[in-house]
Structure formats: structure tokens, C-alpha cells
């Protein structure tokens, strides 16, 4: 294949979202094409059309000049087009190997599990993305699931590989590994489409950058374009990065964890930390080193096996999610699809999920829907959530807009402590700046923030103090300017 052309593609979602408006795009063999755009710009929709998941309302898809009809992802893979989705599409209860070959075994072939696992492991090593083929997918961390998705597409012989925000869940080392694979693929004459919000990655990996805004192609640039210019093209105006002002710490302890241990793989071992009012405490660490356990312990959804948790100076005797929320701690969960939103429910229901009673919208068993919707509309405007209406289901929003719903809901509860776990994963530059601003505002009002993030840039940019988590332990503390030391601690090297 030399090229895949998308010509004049339109896609509208009822009632009034024009996700793609006359988009034309050429994807060339031997090239890494980066697609940039704000949350909701239409990147995923366009690539879902190219990979047979979504039908366009209008437009043509040509492979080397021949029109293709893509009725399903199976059709697309038959034409060598494979997509790794932003929201995983693996089957949790099956093994890695089963997921990789599913729908691809060939008629009547008996699934020999042992052989299958060996074959998939061998293949994954060959492409430089190691996976443990025998494990069940629901036992894997998100980064590992991402690898499985990529292995799956490559196993099926993709000549055009579409990666929708593949690094959002990868560690820096895993990202380097992925980039090597991507470059090898391009060198071998395959085409790669790379969607990312991380501009420095785009400039590192892409041969060509195309920018979408509101469902249209607005610009094409070389990868050497200054990042500020790319950001401005995406958003349609200059983007300001909020900066951290001097600490306003009041010295009162908002949250304290002492000798906290919990089960899990990895869980926490004897973690102690103090977070004061008016400060942002960063928890740095490579994904999979106890961040999830910490997040869940703080939110009261994972019990402590020993140690204590105190909020506002008083030790909690019985830890439960409800008690913790009542005491003013809210969480922006890392797994927003599982823990953050109820996908089939509407935007307004999601925004008011916990607060119908507090705000007096639910009384004596009656729901004041109109008042609740009005409140939701205010939040939609305040946080710049892009949706058709507050009645649209959250599952239909773009990834970044789903996260905005979670953040708007949690910050609207006027918490004292915000536990923000990977809060800008998958968000565009503008939305990331918005989240950072929200967290800095919370701090400026004297609130406390626990910022759990695998993104070292984010940690150093926002935190007043940093704890480093490694294999479930705090291996060191640092100031936000001690970037190299934090990096060494993250890698488990004594610093």
C-alpha cells in the first residue's frame, strides 16, 4: 500500500455535533502522521471512520486510489488498517493470548492455549512489546493493556496502524520502547497515525503534523514547528500555561497518613505523608508502584491493613468512602471510565451524582430536575465542557470532556482535600491548563491537593513538595526543582 486517502468526510452525531466536517487527509506509507486537536476536535471519530468502526455520513476512503467500503473493523483489518483505541476494547476475562488472536484464529482451528500463549509471546518479543500472554487482561495495569492492544493490531498484519493516544498510559521508558517500534514500522514501509496531546512527543516522532479543529483540518505543519504555535493552532488562540505562585501554606495539617500499609499488587508499605492546607503535594512515581493503592486508600475504597489516616487533624476510626467524602476529601480517579463517570447516564446526572441531596435538588423523594439541569448547565459553562446538551450521555463525550465532567463535579463539592490521580491524562493542552488552574485555585483558597501523577513535568510544575513512590514505599522526598533526584528515586535508585 502506498497511501490511504480520506476525502471530504462528514460525520454528524445527533442532535447537533458535527464531529467531522469535510475532512480530507492522506496517510502515506513509510510516514508517521501526527493528528493534533483539542478534546472533541474529531480526531478519534475520523480514525474510527478510517478503521471501519464508524460509518461516515459522506465521503470516500481510497486505498491507492481504489475506493474501500469499510462496514466493520474486520473489513478494515482485511485491508491492512488497524486501530488501537483510546478506550480499550479488550475482553477483560480472557487471557492476553486469547485477546490477541480473538476473531483471527481461522475457521475450525482449535485453541491450544499453551501453543497460543507461546506464539503470542514470541510475536510480542519480536515487535519489542513484551506481554505475559497467559495472564488475564483484567489483571493487567493499563500500560500493559495498551501493549496488548498494539500487539493485537500488529499480529493481525496492520499496514496502517492508528494509535489513539497510546502514550497517555505509558511510562517514559515504555514510551521510548513504543517510539522505537513506531519508527521501525515506518522504516519498514508501514503508515502510522499517532494521536497525542503531548506536543513534545509529537515533535519527536512525527514526520508531518495535521491539526484538526471543530471537525476540520485547519493546518499542516512540519514536526519542527515551535510547540507554542502548534498549541495555538489547536485551540485557535494563544495558550497560557498557569504558573505556580508562592506557597500559601497555612501550616494546618489537612491530611496525614502514618505507617499506612495495604494489600494489593503492589499495595502500600508503611507509607507516611503529611499534606498541609494551601499546598500541593506531588506523588511522583512510575505507574504501577502503588499509586492506585494510595489513591484508593485515601478515598476510603481500599482498607488499610495497618497504620492510620487522619483528616483535618482527627484520626478516622472507621474509614469508608462516604465518611471521607463527608469530611471534605474528594477524588479525581485515575480510571475515569470505571470510577469517574456513569457512561450511560446524562451529563447533568453525572455532574450532580453525589450532590443532589446536599444542594436540595432531591427532597422527600422528589427530584427537582429543572433546577438540577440548570446547575449542571452552569458547571458546563464554567468548566468549558463540550457537549450537545446536559442531557447527552457522558459516554458519548470525548475523553477530555469526560474528565472535565469529573473535575467539575468534584471541585463543585467545595472540598478541603482533592486527591487528583493522573488528572490530565489524555487531556489537550487547553484542558490541561484548565485543570492545573483549578488545582492551583484550590490551593490558593487554602485547600490541599494530593497530586498523584506519572508525568514528571506535571509534578514539578505544580507541586510544593514531592514524595516519590517506588514499589509501594515512599523512597524519598524532594523539592519540585530537584527533577533529576526525583527521576532517580522513581527508578528505584538511591538518591
Ligand X SMILES: Nc1ncnc2c1ncn2[C@@H]1O[C@H](COP(=O)(O)OP(=O)(O)OP(=O)(O)O)[C@@H](O)[C@H]1O
* Residue ranges that bind ligand X, judged by CB under 6 A: 13, 17, 19, 37, 39-45, 86, 386, 396-400, 428
Shortest Å, Cβ 440 to ligand X: 22
Distance (Å, whole) CA 340 – CA 358: 19
Shortest Å, Cβ 111 to Mg ion: 33
Q: Taking CB within 5 to 8 Å according to partner kind, which of ligand X, Mg ion, none is near residue 31?
A: none
3-state secondary structure of 232: helix
3-state secondary structure of 211: strand
Closer to Mg ion at the Cβ: 45 or 475? 45
> Nine-digit cell at 2?
502506498
DSSP label at residue 169: G
Shortest Å, Cβ 418 to ligand X: 22
Closer to ligand X at the Cβ: 19 or 158? 19
Q: Taking CB within 5 to 8 Å according to partner kind, which of ligand X, Mg ion, none is near residue 262?
A: none
Please name which of 213, 227, 166 lies closest in space to residue 46, comparing C-alpha atoms.
Answer: 213
Q: Taking CB within 5 to 8 Å according to partner kind, which of ligand X, Mg ion, none is near residue 52?
A: none
Q: Taking CB within 5 to 8 Å according to partner kind, which of ligand X, Mg ion, none is near residue 166?
A: none
Which of 34, 40, 44, 459: binder of Mg ion (CB under 5 A)? 44
Residues 85-114 that bind Mg ion (CB under 5 A): 86
Shortest Å, Cβ 53 to Mg ion: 12
Distance (Å, whole) CA 495 – CA 309: 28
Chain CA centroid to CA 281, Å: 21
Closer to Mg ion at the Cβ: 212 or 451? 212
Shortest Å, Cβ 49 to ligand X: 10
DSSP label at residue 396: G
Closer to Mg ion at the Cβ: 86 or 171? 86
Cβ contact 190:127 at 8 Å = no
Shortest Å, Cβ 360 to Mg ion: 36
Q: Cell 484548565 appears where?
A: 434
Q: Taking CB within 5 to 8 Å according to partner kind, which of ligand X, Mg ion, none is near residue 386?
A: ligand X
C-alpha distances in Å from residue 158, one per residue of 76, 146, 149, 191: 9, 16, 12, 9
Please name which of 115, 84, 116 lies closest in space to residue 98, comparing C-alpha atoms.
Answer: 116
Shortest Å, Cβ 47 to ligand X: 8
Please name which of 319, 322, 379, 389 lies closest in space to residue 352, comparing C-alpha atoms.
Answer: 379
Closer to Mg ion at the Cβ: 197 or 436? 197
Closer to Mg ion at the Cβ: 81 or 280? 81
Closer to Mg ion at the Cβ: 313 or 384? 384
Please name which of 228, 270, 199 lies closest in space to residue 428, comparing C-alpha atoms.
Answer: 199
Closer to ligand X at the Cβ: 345 or 495? 345
> Number of residues in contact with Mg ion, rule: CB under 5 A?
2
Shortest Å, Cβ 45 to Mg ion: 8
Q: Taking CB within 5 to 8 Å according to partner kind, which of Mg ion, ligand X, none is near residue 40?
A: ligand X
Peptide bond into 15 cis (omega under 30): yes
User: Cα torsion for 482, 487, 491, 493, to the nearest 10°?
Assistant: -40
Dihedral over Cα of 197, 203, 205, 207: its sign: positive
Q: Which stretch binds Mg ion (CB under 5 A): 24-32, 81-89, 145-153, 236-244?
A: 81-89
Contact partners, residue 67, CB within 8 Å, separation at least 6: 60, 61
Closer to Mg ion at the Cβ: 39 or 416? 39
Q: Taking CB within 5 to 8 Å according to partner kind, which of Mg ion, ligand X, none is near residue 120?
A: none
Shortest Å, Cβ 128 to Mg ion: 25
Q: Taking CB within 5 to 8 Å according to partner kind, which of ligand X, Mg ion, none is near residue 17?
A: ligand X
Binding mask 366-405 for Mg ion (x = CB under 5 A): ----------------------------------------
Distance (Å, whole) CA 339 – CA 329: 16
Please name which of 92, 97, 152 lies closest in space to residue 120, comparing C-alpha atoms.
Answer: 97
> Nine-digit cell at 476?
524519598
C-alpha distances in Å from residue 173, one per residue of 129, 196, 287, 493: 12, 17, 11, 15
Beta-sheet strand order (sheet of 314-315): 268-276, 253-262, 306-311, 314-315
Shortest Å, Cβ 4 to Mg ion: 19
Q: Taking CB within 5 to 8 Å according to partner kind, which of ligand X, Mg ion, none is near residue 235?
A: none
Q: Taking CB within 5 to 8 Å according to partner kind, which of Mg ion, ligand X, none is near residue 121?
A: none
Count the Cβ atoms, other than its own, within 10 Å of residue 103: 10
Residues in contact with Mg ion by the rule CB under 5 A: 44, 86
Amino acid at each position: 500500500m502506498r497511501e490511504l486517502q480520506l476525502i471530504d468526510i462528514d460525520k454528524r452525531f445527533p442532535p447537533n455535533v458535527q464531529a467531522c466536517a469535510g475532512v480530507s487527509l492522506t496517510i502515506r506509507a513509510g510516514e508517521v502522521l501526527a493528528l493534533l486537536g483539542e478534546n472533541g476536535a474529531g480526531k478519534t471519530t475520523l480514525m474510527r471512520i478510517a478503521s471501519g468502526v464508524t460509518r461516515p455520513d459522506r465521503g470516500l476512503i481510497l486505498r491507492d486510489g481504489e475506493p474501500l467500503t469499510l462496514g466493520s473493523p474486520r473489513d478494515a483489518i482485511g485491508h491492512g488498517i488497524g486501530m488501537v483505541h483510546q478506550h480499550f476494547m479488550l475482553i477483560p476475562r480472557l487471557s492476553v493470548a486469547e485477546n490477541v488472536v480473538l476473531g483471527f484464529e481461522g475457521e475450525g482451528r482449535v485453541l491450544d492455549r499453551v501453543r497460543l500463549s507461546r506464539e503470542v509471546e514470541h510475536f510480542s518479543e519480536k515487535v519489542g512489546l513484551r506481554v505475559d500472554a497467559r495472564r488475564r487482561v483484567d489483571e493487567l495495569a493499563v500500560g500493559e493493556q495498551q501493549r496488548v492492544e498494539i500487539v493485537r493490531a500488529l499480529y493481525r498484519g496492520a499496514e496502517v496502524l492508528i494509535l489513539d493516544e497510546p502514550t497517555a498510559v505509558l511510562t517514559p521508558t515504555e514510551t521510548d520502547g513504543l517510539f522505537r517500534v513506531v519508527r521501525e514500522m515506518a522504516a519498514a514501509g508501514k503508515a502510522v497515525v499517532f494521536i497525542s496531546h503531548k506536543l513534545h512527543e509529537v515533535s519527536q516522532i512525527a514526520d508531518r503534523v495535521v491539526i484538526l479543529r471543530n471537525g476540520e483540518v485547519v493546518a499542516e505543519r512540519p514536526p519542527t514547528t515551535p510547540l507554542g504555535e502548534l498549541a495555538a493552532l489547536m485551540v485557535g488562540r494563544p495558550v497560557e500555561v498557569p504558573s505556580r505562585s508562592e506557597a500559601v501554606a497555612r501550616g494546618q495539617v489537612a491530611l496525614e497518613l502514618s505507617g499506612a500499609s495495604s494489600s494489593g499488587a503492589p499495595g502500600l508499605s508503611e507509607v507516611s505523608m503529611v499534606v498541609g492546607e494551601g499546598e500541593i503535594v506531588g506523588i511522583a512515581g512510575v505507574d504501577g508502584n502503588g499509586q492506585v493503592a494510595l489513591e484508593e486508600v485515601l478515598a476510603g475504597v481500599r482498607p488499610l491493613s495497618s497504620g492510620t489516616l487522619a483528616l483535618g487533624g482527627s484520626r478516622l476510626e472507621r474509614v469508608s468512602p462516604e465518611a471521607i467524602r463527608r469530611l471534605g476529601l474528594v477524588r479525581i480517579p485515575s480510571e475515569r471510565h470505571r470510577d469517574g463517570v456513569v457512561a450511560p447516564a446524562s451529563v447533568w446526572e453525572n455532574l450532580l451524582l453525589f450532590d443532589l441531596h446536599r444542594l436540595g435538588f432531591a427532597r422527600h423523594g422528589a427530584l427537582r430536575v429543572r433546577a438540577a439541569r440548570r446547575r449542571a448547565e452552569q458547571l458546563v459553562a464554567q468548566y468549558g465542557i463540550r457537549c450537545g446538551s446536559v442531557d447527552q450521555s457522558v459516554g458519548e463525550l470525548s475523553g477530555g470532556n469526560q474528565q472535565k465532567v469529573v473535575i467539575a463535579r468534584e471541585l463543585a463539592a467545595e472540598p478541603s482535600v482533592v486527591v487528583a490521580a493522573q488528572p490530565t491524562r489524555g487531556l489537550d493542552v487547553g484542558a490541561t491548563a484548565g485543570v492545573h488552574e483549578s488545582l492551583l485555585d484550590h490551593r490558593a483558597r487554602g485547600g490541599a491537593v494530593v497530586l498523584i501523577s506519572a508525568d514528571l513535568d506535571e509534578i514539578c510544575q505544580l507541586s510544593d513538595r514531592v514524595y516519590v513512590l517506588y514499589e509501594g514505599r515512599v523512597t524519598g522526598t524532594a523539592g519540585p526543582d530537584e527533577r533529576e533526584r526525583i527521576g532517580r528515586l522513581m527508578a528505584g535508585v538511591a538518591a
